[in-house]
């Protein structure tokens, strides 16, 4: 674990602050905490942390507002940690610019995995790094972006142009939830209507082609009511 990774935790519940702080310190992270939104915004500006863990239900500023304010000037990865489990809340946070969303209560293993994924994505866009590896691999699925080639167990998978755009968008953001609205805007443009039926149809076609059993997918997962998440690249 790289001890230089710094985490800013914005959480008003003392017991949760203590639990997360202890967990992350034991893994070598440097952690700073804030009990309210205003303090969190100040610390984010002064410390420039590597990642932010944010509760939505803060006493002074709603977490959604904090995400919007941070995204005006910062690309620091934000993981929302909240008791709000409604799908619309999750989708709104992700659309505002959060990188991930964990619903309370959560386990240590899940928290650490989400942090590693978000840090990995954050570092990909640092100066001098390429935004993604030239090849995506997960189990028997491989996507070669340069060759526009998708194979499963060595066999070529024939995708339509739209299907290829969809799977590469998800693969280049592997491990991260992409909301329906984000995907549709990226693939069909900003003037596409809110009906995501066209997206669902295309995703169902992709699953039939790349999953051994589409009902129990190994590569592309549905976050019900929110969007899709591609399995983390194994490279």
CATH number of the domain at 74, please: 3.40.50.2300
CATH label of the domain that carries residue 208: 1.10.10.10
User: Is 181 found in the same domain as 111?
Assistant: no
- The domain boundary residue, chosen from 124, 155, 172: 124
Closest CA to 59 of 89, 32, 34, 76: 34
Pair (113, 196) in one structural domain: no
Q: Is residue 55 part of a domain?
A: yes
Query: Looking at the structure, do residues 17 and 48 belong to the same domain, yes or no?
Result: yes
Q: Do 104 and 195 have their domain in common?
A: no
Q: How many domains does the chain have?
A: 2
24 burial (CB, 10 Å; 0-12 / 13-18 / 19+) is buried
Domain assignment of residue 201, yes or no:
yes
Same domain, 120 and 197: no
Would 165 be classed as within a structural domain?
Answer: yes
> Where in the sequence is the domain holding 203, given as residue range(s)?
135-230
CA distance 77 to 132: 16
d(CA 167, CA 39): 40
Residue with tokens 């990642």: 51
Q: Phi and psi of 18, rounded to 5°?
A: -65, -45
Looking at the structure, tell me whether residues 140 and 63 fall in a common domain. no
Rg (CA), the chain: 18
Q: What is the DSSP letter of 62?
A: -
Is residue 1 domain-resident?
no
15 phi and psi, to 5 degrees? -65, -40
CA-to-CA separations, 132 to 9, 120, 128, in angstroms, rounded: 28, 10, 12
Per-residue pLDDT of the chain (235 residues; tens, 9 = 90+): 444 689 999 999 999 999 999 999 999 999 999 999 999 999 988 888 889 999 999 999 999 999 999 988 888 899 999 888 788 899 999 999 999 999 888 899 999 999 988 887 765 544 344 455 789 999 999 999 888 899 999 999 999 988 999 999 999 889 889 999 889 888 887 767 777 889 999 999 999 999 999 999 999 999 988 999 999 988 6
Distance between CA atoms of 232 and 56, rounded to whole angstroms? 26
Q: Quote the distance between the C-alpha of residue 52 and its chain's center.
A: 13
């Amino acid at each position: 674990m790289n001890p230089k990774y710094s985490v800013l935790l914005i959480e008003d519940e003392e017991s949760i602050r203590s639990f997360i702080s202890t967990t992350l310190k034991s893994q070598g992270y440097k952690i700073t905490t804030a009990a309210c939104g205003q303090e969190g915004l100040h610390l984010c500006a002064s410390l420039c942390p590597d990642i932010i863990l944010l509760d939505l239900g803060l006493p002074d500023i709603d977490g959604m507002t904090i995400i919007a304010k941070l995204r005006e000037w910062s690309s620091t990865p934000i993981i929302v940690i909240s008791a709000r489990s409604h799908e619309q809340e999750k989708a709104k946070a992700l659309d505002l610019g959060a990188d991930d969303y964990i619903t309370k209560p959560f386990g240590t293993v899940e928290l650490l995995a989400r942090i590693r994924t978000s840090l990995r994505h954050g570092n990909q866009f640092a100066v001098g790094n390429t935004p993604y590896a030239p090849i995506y691999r997960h189990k028997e699925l491989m996507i070669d972006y340069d060759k526009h080639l998708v194979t499963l167990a060595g066999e070529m998978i024939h995708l339509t142009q739209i299907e290829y755009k969809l799977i590469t968008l998800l693969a280049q953001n592997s491990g991260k939830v992409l909301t329906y609205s984000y995907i549709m805007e990226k693939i069909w443009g900003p003037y596409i209507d809110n009906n995501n039926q066209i997206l669902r149809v295309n995703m169902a076609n992709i699953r039939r082609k790349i999953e051994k059993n589409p009902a129990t997918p190994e590569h592309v997962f549905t976050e019900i009511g929110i969007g899709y998440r591609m399995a983390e690249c194994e490279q």
